[in-house]
């Protein structure tokens, strides 16, 4: 009964937080512009984008399974799927909490130690970074003018803040060096080292892969889905249906930057999309204001479409994970 009560309280808090931050986005939305854009939109492409997002969940779960098998933790693909769905839902509440939620929910379903699954998740992030670099290269090849316009609109790099941050790390390292022997005797330090060793074991799982070709295929499939999730929505609006692959490559790179921003629930995504379209319009000889107007409704509609998918499958994942018997974990 206590477990069920705790799960219910957690679910209510999570839904309340997600609702709060989504509500803040809705409050700041210009529904007049959004309504006009929605009238002209072709929802076939928007629904196709939502379906592809769920397909990417499944491909990521299947790839995760391949990473966990070599380190002695075979899992069901559906367990990975629901853990990933739950992770995306949790990102709507606390930035970057999804990685922890994903590892702990998998432990509940499959008894995979959280440190080892976190190691595989870190490895996935490195692989994702490589694919992002590949798309950045494609953007540079096919649409370098837009890419330069985008970065030219940004603020100057904060060199002063970077130097302060480096100084803090150097000072922390010096203090650690002075008291390292005392710290090593602390239980929390020893547990932390064991936890990091578990993460390292998970991270090295790629060296023991048995189905490397399938792993590569899943990785490529995930990023094809990511690309199409954005690119297909271009065909949903008269103002963007003429855009080509060059704009598609650029939008996935700029969109990824929007999701990386430490904003709750990916709220930075619509803003970055407006800046991205401003850059596209500038590179085509038009004004940044025209681009921002299109980018605003494009980013918001795509954002809300993905939020609907995340909410539906996130809530189902909570129910699915909660049914896992506590006796198994």
Q: How far apart are CA 111 and CA 105, in angstroms?
A: 9
Look at residue 50 in the predicted model and tell me its pLDDT: 94
pTM of the model: 0.77
What is the spatial distance between Cα 270 and Cα 278, in angstroms, rounded to a whole number?
12
Q: In angstroms, what CA-CA distances link 322 with 72, 83, 109, 240?
A: 25, 11, 9, 43
What pLDDT, in 10s, does the model give residues 199-218? 667 666 777 788 889 998 99
% of the chain residues with pLDDT over 70: 69
Query: Structural domain tally of the chain?
Result: 1
Whether residue 28 contacts residue 263, with contact meaning beta carbons closer than 8 Å, is answered with no
Kindly report, residue by residue over 254-271, the tens digit of the pLDDT.
877 766 555 555 566 777
Greatest Cα pair distance, the chain, in angstroms, is 67
Range of the domain at 45: 2-328
Rounded to the nearest angstrom, the gap between the alpha carbon of residue 4 and the centroid of all alpha carbons in its chain is 29
pLDDT for residue 13 is more than 60:
yes
Q: Rounded distance, CA 68 to CA 124, Å?
A: 12
Q: 308 pLDDT exceeds 60?
A: yes
Question: Coil, strand, or helix at residue 1?
Answer: coil
Q: Report the distance separating Cα 228 and Cα 60, nearest Å.
A: 16
Distance from CA of residue 138 to its chain's centroid? Answer: 21
Per residue in 178-194, pLDDT tens?
Answer: 666 666 666 665 566 66
Residue 156 has what pLDDT? 46
């Amino acid at each position: 009964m206590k477990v069920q009560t705790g799960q219910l309280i957690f679910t209510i808090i999570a839904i309340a937080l997600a609702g709060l931050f989504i509500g803040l986005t809705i409050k700041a939305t210009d529904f007049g512009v959004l309504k006009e854009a929605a009238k002209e939109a072709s929802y076939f492409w928007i629904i196709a984008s939502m379906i592809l997002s769920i397909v990417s969940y499944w491909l990521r779960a299947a790839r995760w399974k391949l990473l966990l098998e070599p380190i002695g933790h075979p899992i069901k693909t559906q367990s990975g799927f629901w853990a990933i769905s739950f992770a995306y839902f949790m990102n709507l509440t606390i930035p970057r909490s999804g990685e922890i939620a994903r590892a702990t929910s998998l432990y509940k379903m499959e008894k995979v130690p959280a440190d080892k699954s976190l190691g595989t998740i870190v490895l996935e992030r490195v692989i994702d970074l490589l694919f992002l670099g590949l798309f950045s290269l494609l953007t540079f090849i096919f649409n370098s003018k837009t890419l330069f316009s985008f970065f030219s609109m940004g603020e100057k790099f904060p060199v002063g803040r970077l130097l302060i941050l480096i100084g803090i790390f150097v000072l922390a390292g010096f203090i650690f060096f002075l008291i390292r022997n005392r710290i090593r005797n602390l239980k929390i330090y020893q547990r932390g080292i064991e936890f990091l060793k578990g993460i390292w074991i998970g991270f090295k799982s790629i060296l023991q892969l048995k189905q490397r070709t399938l792993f590569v295929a899943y990785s490529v499939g995930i990023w094809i889905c990511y690309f199409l999730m954005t690119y297909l929505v271009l065909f949903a609006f008269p103002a963007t249906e003429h855009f080509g692959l060059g704009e598609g490559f650029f939008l996935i790179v700029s969109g990824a930057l929007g999701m990386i921003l430490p904003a709750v629930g990916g709220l930075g995504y619509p803003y970055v999309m407006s800046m991205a379209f401003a850059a596209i319009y500038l590179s085509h000889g038009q004004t940044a204001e025209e681009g921002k107007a299109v980018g605003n409704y494009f980013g918001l509609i795509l954002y809300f479409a993905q939020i609907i998918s995340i909410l539906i499958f996130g809530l189902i994942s909570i129910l699915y994970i909660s049914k896992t018997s506590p006796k198994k974990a």
